[in-house]
Amino acid sequence: MATATLGTGGPTLQASERQMVLPTNLLTGIVLAAVGYYVGVQIGNGFGFNDGLNTGVLLGYTFGSVMFLVGVGFANYPLARLFGWPIAPQSAGDEYRGAWRFLNLSLDHKVIGIQYLVAMLMAMFFGGIGAMLIRTNLLSPDQLVVPPDKYLVLVSMHSVMMIFVASAAIVGPFGNFFVPYMIGTNRMAFPRLEALSFWLVPPAIVILLAAPLFGGFPTGWTGYAPLSEQAGQGFDSYIVGFALIGTALCVSGVNMLTTVISLRAPGMTWTRLPIFVWGVFSASILGTFAAPILASAVIMQGFDRSMNTSFFISSNGGSPYLWENLFWFFGHPEVYIFILPAFGIVMELIPHFARKPLWGYRTAVVGLLGVTLLSWFVWQHHLFVSGIAPALRPFYMFSTEMISIPTGIVFLVAFGTLWRAKISMTVPMLFCLGFLFNFLIGGLSGVFLSDVPSDVTLHGSYFSMAHFHFTIVGGEIFAIVAAIYYWFPKMTGRMLNMTLGKIHFWWMMIAFNLAFMPLFAAGILDMPRRVSTYAPSLQGLNDWVSFWAYLLFASMLLFAVNVIWSWFFNPKVAPADPWHVRSIEWTLPTPLPRRNFERIPTFTSGPYDYGNPSPRPAADLGSEPAPA
Amino acid sequence: MPPGLGAVLSYWPFEPVVLVGVAIAAMLYAVGGVGRPRKHRDHWRSAAFWLGLLSILLALQSPIEILARQLFWMHMVQHLLLMVVAAPLLALASPWTRLWRALPLGFRRSVARPVFLHPGLAPLRWTYRQLAQPGVIWVLAAANLWLWHLPVLYDLTLRNHLVHHVEHGLFLGLGLAFWAHVFDQRPFRAPLGTLARASYVFFAMVQSWGLAAVLSFATGPFYAYALLPSRPGGISALTDQQLGGGMMWVPGAITYSIVFIALLFQWLAEEDSRAASITRGHAHGG
Amino acid sequence: MSVDEPVPPPFAHRGMPTLTTRSPEWEPEVDARLARVGTRIWIVADVFFFAAWFFAFFYLRALNNNYDWLPAGTTHPTRAIGAIIVLLAIVAAGLYWAGARAIVTQRATARLFFWLALLAGVLCFVVQIYEFKNLGFDPQQGGGFPSVFIGLKGVWLFQLTGAMFWLATQIAQARPLGDATIRPKSVVTFGNFMLFLAAIALVSYVVLYFV
């Protein structure tokens, strides 16, 4: 079994200090979570609000999550500051050895990155199971897996789980792990906030997985009122799950923004930042400022369901449009939170594997920031058919079409870099090229949906389903897989098997396209989404889609086998710089030492300075230590 | 009068104040440019100036003015032409030195010397310095925008032509002052750095969205347009108002967005030179 | 300096980030500077949070669905109590700022101001709970205004509670060799957040009681 590759660990806590700090670990977290859940349910049931409104589960989830965090150790620092106890040093978590280090609170951004990676992959697996159940159910217009009133439970589970994954799958593992390296610092601005953003994810996943125990919820990931208020106890999972994930997004964003703004090493000016950091930065802007709106909206839902207020009930002075506006004001930036880091990855990897500087770096940066800006005022295109004043629709059509310009800039930059380059077709590069193909289709289909006349017919059909699966799966998931193949040697000290990788790429690419491309046709043929039955004439199409979807899932299982075998069963250590690229993390040894840089480097050139006959090193690692 | 001409003329207003103002500005500019060697840059500045004057005429001395009396959203187009087309173009042109130069030297000296040097006018200079600060101008321009959309004031401009001219003058004047902090007005330099200018423009855009949201989401018409028996196109007063809100929201943001993006590019270019100088300093053992 | 060599922490006071290693990036000055930047970003995020509630207010009021924005029999909450809550919030923020100015030269006075600020904050909490118990309406009967009133004030109160905990920590750290005493800039950070909460309280007061 591969040993932990993140160095030998830091200095251990002194014995006297250990006594003063509350003894907390994952097990105490789980125990306290159960206690918190029980207490919450008791309090909620005792409230005695209107009959039929069970506040118990809602409070149970909330208390359970909070007590989980307390049990894992997040209360130690605030209480220590308050009562004057010694505080665990920044190397907290290092005293654990081996796998145990990854199961406990650690303030090392590298450990948090790996924790995130595993959590995201596991959540993606659960979401994928949901997808398989959905596609099995759709093998026939009759119900095969679940009765029709339970189909939406499946859809909701799959979609919400995948939304959780997509929100953090790049910034969480790779942003947290590599941004400090790329900007030349030994620390994140707020390691405890960073750890908090991770530890909010397991409770969210568990709470979501618990929803079927209470009957699930039928609203899909959009949670529209009044269905959400009529839904059973399962919808409480939605409320608390999104509240936790929203908090994680906001907190992670505050940490990431402060880090990139304040902790860049000398010479790391904004124009020398690797474009991956820009992708993470712009997504963090959206995450920090959009997530609080989601939090407000789900709190309003919570009040409506437990205290009989009426934010979203029109017979009582509320309005479902309030939910729609609030949700989509968050929801549209949310999808750009998905894709901006993916753009960052693709634009980062292409220059390295094309051995050419990134073409149009400043244009790419302005493109990312342009998407960030524009994503705030397009949200009404999600409401074209549900009650927006008709006079306003042309304006949002215009602004939505405008957002394809900065998105197109990303393609321009990618192709400009690939033009006349010596491309090395490594597995990460293959996935980047796959991204470009898939996202082109996904993005273009979005232009159709942005047009009011066509959206009126296509809204709520499989066309929009195909659009967002091409952009999120064909786009973001492909980018995540590329990032895993690329950075796996540095994160874990092992190379993934590249032969399996190439098989994985072609298998996944073909299966994905053959599975999702026909869904555009299904949409045009009026197959509505979120409905468990369909016209019998569409059976052949659906069977074709389901078949290829199973194969897509199988390709991800192959990937999982590759990951697990390479990580835990392959004894061969990866070289420090297997890709021979200029990015700074590859100049450091594998396994990475606990402390990123012995001396803070001075950056003397950009990371894409290929083709230069006498290049400067990207950074001078021998400079005097400067205060971060 | 030939037949048809009367009909055509009925679509064109006659605004002597506007015509005289534009004519004076044009004459001064033309005269001020006589006899000076032209550098390359002056060509696009002159182009901006003439386009700016043209957009003022388009806003106030064209069929838009007639339609603005019948349609709220047309009136919005008129105001947008003044605030986000004419004002930034004129600020970009930075015509002040040329306009000033057109006046006789004796007159210029007799005005400029006391304004800049006379101790009795020191309070005036102090007031100007306070008012010309970017934060103050930002707040004044934003407040001006919101105030004129209060129904009581807006309806007053519809009834009273003089007040209407004052309104347009304030939009243009405060607009010029606003954009003067984004585009350097030669020979002065605006005090803000590039990133600060980008934020300045960004937040001005965002606050206008607030007003646009109020107009777009309102459930009933606010202004006297509702009293008109009918509107061109047969639209309701509420639809008219929503269209106006949408105009302010999206087309009204175009200029701000373009300038914001240009400022981002400029800031990145400045960061590039800063990076290069750090590299040079480091190579020399700094 | 080797990473592994333990160095006695430079500060004798407990509750300070003790370092068993000495490394420049973990100097508490760096933490204080980062906290200032981070708190400003957090405050802007909080603006968005409260903006959603204010949007709910104006939107539901404009729609007045089923004429139920103010259900029949709803009496408006008394402005006097609302004013007391706002004033206490402002007083707490003001006292804190007075303490922040005094922290460098007169530490004991600063601590006194902090304690008074905490007292004002706790009183504010108590009065708000009193108001919740003595509303002129029952939020469980629905209605747009009652819902937004409870929701907006409820989430504000939750943030106030968190702020009071933070304030108590500032008091604890205002001892000799405590974080607040050694690094006055870290005191200002929290003051910004108190001001923000007071400002939100004021805006909420105007919107909820007068509009």
Residue B283 touches chain A, beta carbons under 8 Å: yes
Residue A227's CB is within 10 A of a number of other CB atoms, namely 16
Residue of A nearest to B249 (CA): A395
Q: For testing the chain B interface, which of A377, A378, A396, A609 should be mutated: the one with the most B CBs within 10 Å?
A: A377
User: Does residue A91 lie within any of the structural domains?
Assistant: no
Residue of A nearest to C137 (CA): A309
Mean pLDDT of A517-529: 95
Give the end-to-end CA distance of chain C in Å, rounded to a whole number: 63
Residue A197's CB is within 10 A of a number of other CB atoms, namely 28
Using a 10 angstrom Cβ sphere, with 0-12 exposed, 13-18 middle and 19 or more buried, the burial of residue A598 is middle
Cβ atoms of A122 and A169 within 8 Å: the answer is no
Distance of alpha carbon B182 from alpha carbon B196, whole angstroms: 9
Peptide bond into A591 cis (omega under 30): yes
Distance of alpha carbon B223 from alpha carbon B153, whole angstroms: 10
Using a 10 angstrom Cβ sphere, with 0-12 exposed, 13-18 middle and 19 or more buried, the burial of residue A565 is middle
Residue C145 touches chain A, beta carbons under 8 Å: yes
* A180-195 confidence digits (pLDDT tens): 999 999 999 999 999 9
Sign for the CA dihedral angle at A476, A482, A487, A493 comes to positive
What are the beta bridge partners of residue A75? Answer: none
Q: Which residues contact C86 (CB under 8 A, 6 or more apart)?
A: C198, C201, C202, C205
pLDDT attached to residue A92: 66
Residue A185's CB is within 10 A of a number of other CB atoms, namely 24
Cβ atoms of B102 and B29 within 8 Å: the answer is yes
pLDDT attached to residue A6: 37
Buried b (16+ CB within 10 A) or exposed e, A280-312: bbbbbbbbbbbbbbbbbbbbbbbbbbbbbbbbb
Which residue type does A23 have?
P
Q: How far off is chain A from B179, nearest CA to CA, in Å?
A: 21
pLDDT attached to residue B3: 61
Mean model confidence pLDDT for chain A:
90
Distance of alpha carbon B73 from alpha carbon B226, whole angstroms: 13
The residues in B 183-242 lying below 8 A from C, measured between CB atoms, are 217-219
- Which ipTM did the prediction report? 0.92
Cβ atoms of A602 and A620 within 8 Å: the answer is yes
Distance of alpha carbon B113 from alpha carbon A139, whole angstroms: 88
Inter-chain touch B246–A604, beta carbons under 8 Å: no
Instruction: Give the chains touching A; criterion: ≥3 Cβ pairs < 8 Å.
Output: B, C
Mean pLDDT of A535-543: 94
Tokens in use for B192? 């803000």
Q: Which residues of C lie inside 8 Å of B (Cβ-Cβ)?
A: 59, 62-64
Ranges A75-79, A416-420, C161-165: which has the least confidence: A75-79
Mean model confidence pLDDT for chain C:
85
Q: For testing the chain B interface, which of A183, A264, A321, A362 should be mutated: the one with the most B CBs within 10 Å?
A: A362
pLDDT attached to residue A53: 60
User: Does residue A68 lie within any of the structural domains?
Assistant: no
Residue A395 touches chain B, beta carbons under 8 Å: yes
Residue among B151, B156, B172 at smallest CA distance from B59: B172
Give Cα A227 distance to the centre of its chain.
Answer: 27
Cβ atoms of B224 and B276 within 8 Å: the answer is no
Residue A339's CB is within 10 A of a number of other CB atoms, namely 25
User: Does residue A6 lie within any of the structural domains?
Assistant: no
pLDDT attached to residue A510: 98
User: Does residue A33 lie within any of the structural domains?
Assistant: no
Q: How far off is chain A from B271, nearest CA to CA, in Å?
A: 6
Q: How far off is chain C from A484, nearest CA to CA, in Å?
A: 29
Q: Which portions of chain B are predicted below pLDDT 50?
A: 286
Measured between beta carbons, which residues in chain B are less than 8 angstroms from residue A390? 239
pLDDT for residue A15 is more than 50: no
Inter-chain touch B219–C62, beta carbons under 8 Å: yes
Taking the CA of residue C19 as centre, how many other CA atoms within 13 Å lie in the half-sphere pointing to its CB?
A: 15
Which residue type does B89 have?
L
The residues in A 245-264 lying below 8 A from C, measured between CB atoms, are 250, 253-255, 257-258, 261-263
Q: For testing the chain A interface, which of B249, B277, B280, B284 should be mutated: the one with the most A CBs within 10 Å?
A: B249
Any idea how long chain C is?
Answer: 211
User: Does residue A530 lie within any of the structural domains?
Assistant: yes
Residue A594 touches chain C, beta carbons under 8 Å: yes
CATH number of the domain that A306 lies in? 1.20.210.10
Measured between beta carbons, which residues in chain A are less than 8 angstroms from residue C154? 303
Mean pLDDT of C182-189: 80
Mean pLDDT of A370-389: 89
Inter-chain touch A82–C169, beta carbons under 8 Å: yes
Q: Is A611 helix (H, G, I), strand (E, B) or coil?
A: coil
Which of B209, B243, B278 faces A391 most closely, judged by CB atoms? Answer: B243
A493 torsion bin: left (phi>0), alpha (psi -120 to 50), beta (else) = left
Cβ atoms of A113 and A169 within 8 Å: the answer is no
Q: Which domain holds residue A117?
A: 108-620
User: Which domains are delineated in chain C?
Assistant: 33-210 (1.20.120.80)
* A247-273 confidence digits (pLDDT tens): 999 999 999 999 999 999 988 999 999
Inter-chain touch C59–B217, beta carbons under 8 Å: yes
Residue C2 touches chain A, beta carbons under 8 Å: no
Structural domains in chain A (count): 1
Mean pLDDT of C138-146: 85
- Rounded to 5°, angle at Cα B170 from B15 and B214: 105
User: Does residue A251 lie within any of the structural domains?
Assistant: yes
Residue of C nearest to A306 (CA): C140
User: Does residue A391 lie within any of the structural domains?
Assistant: yes
Q: Which residues contact A163 (CB under 8 A, 6 or more apart)?
A: A221, A334
Give Cα B35 distance to the centre of its chain.
Answer: 29
The single-letter DSSP state of residue A620 is E
Inter-chain touch C49–A296, beta carbons under 8 Å: yes
Distance of alpha carbon A486 from alpha carbon A495, whole angstroms: 9
Please report, for residues A168, A333, A338, A379, the alpha-carbon distance to residue A284 in angstroms, rounded to integers and kept in the order given. Answer: 10, 11, 10, 18
Distance of alpha carbon A486 from alpha carbon A506, whole angstroms: 17
Cβ atoms of B249 and A378 within 8 Å: the answer is no
Tokens in use for C59? 């939107």
* A80-129 confidence digits (pLDDT tens): 888 877 676 666 666 777 788 888 888 899 999 999 999 999 999 999 99
Residue among A372, A257, A609 at smallest CA distance from B275: A609
Inter-chain touch B275–A267, beta carbons under 8 Å: yes
Distance of alpha carbon A202 from alpha carbon C30, whole angstroms: 31
Which of A81, A91, A310 faces C143 most closely, judged by CB atoms? Answer: A310
pLDDT attached to residue B187: 82
Q: For testing the chain A interface, which of B242, B247, B255, B265 should be mutated: the one with the most A CBs within 10 Å?
A: B242
pLDDT attached to residue C28: 73
pLDDT attached to residue A505: 98
Distance of alpha carbon A152 from alpha carbon C80, whole angstroms: 49
pLDDT attached to residue A9: 32
Q: Which residues contact A126 (CB under 8 A, 6 or more apart)?
A: A161, A205, A209
Distance of alpha carbon A279 from alpha carbon A407, whole angstroms: 12
Peptide bond into B187 cis (omega under 30): yes
Distance of alpha carbon B263 from alpha carbon B259, whole angstroms: 6
Report which secondary-structure segment, H or E, holds A259. Answer: helix A235-262
pLDDT attached to residue B60: 93
Q: Which long-range contacts (CB under 8 A, 24 or more apart) does C126-129 make?
A: C127/C81, C127/C84, C127/C85, C127/C88, C128/C85, C128/C153, C128/C157, C128/C160, C129/C157
User: Does residue A54 lie within any of the structural domains?
Assistant: no
Please report, for residues A230, A319, A323, the alpha-carbon distance to residue A224 in angstroms, rounded to integers and kept in the order given. Answer: 11, 11, 7
Residue of C nearest to B219 (CA): C62
Please report, for residues B210, B218, B249, the alpha-carbon distance to residue B203 in angstroms, rounded to integers and kept in the order given. Answer: 11, 23, 14
Please report, for residues A161, A184, A378, A464, B48, the alpha-carbon distance to residue A450 in angstroms, rounded to integers and kept in the order given. Answer: 26, 41, 9, 11, 34
pLDDT attached to residue C174: 84
Tokens in use for C148? 């937004």
Which of C50, C65, C168 faces A319 most closely, judged by CB atoms? Answer: C65
Q: Is A7 helix (H, G, I), strand (E, B) or coil?
A: coil
A203: phi then psi, degrees, rounded to nearest 5: -60, -40
* B97-137 confidence digits (pLDDT tens): 889 888 888 998 899 888 888 888 899 999 999 999 999 99
Q: For testing the chain C interface, which of B217, B238, B241, B242 should be mutated: the one with the most C CBs within 10 Å?
A: B217
Cβ atoms of A473 and A553 within 8 Å: the answer is no
Distance of alpha carbon B177 from alpha carbon B154, whole angstroms: 22
* C1-41 confidence digits (pLDDT tens): 344 444 444 443 444 444 444 567 777 778 888 989 999 99
Inter-chain touch A316–C66, beta carbons under 8 Å: yes
Percentage of residues in chain C having pLDDT higher than 70: 89
Measured between beta carbons, which residues in chain B are less than 8 angstroms from residue C59? 217
pLDDT attached to residue A206: 97
pLDDT for residue A626 is more than 50: no
Tokens in use for A251? 């907190």
Peptide bond into A226 cis (omega under 30): yes
Measured between beta carbons, which residues in chain C are less than 8 angstroms from residue B202? none
pLDDT attached to residue C23: 66
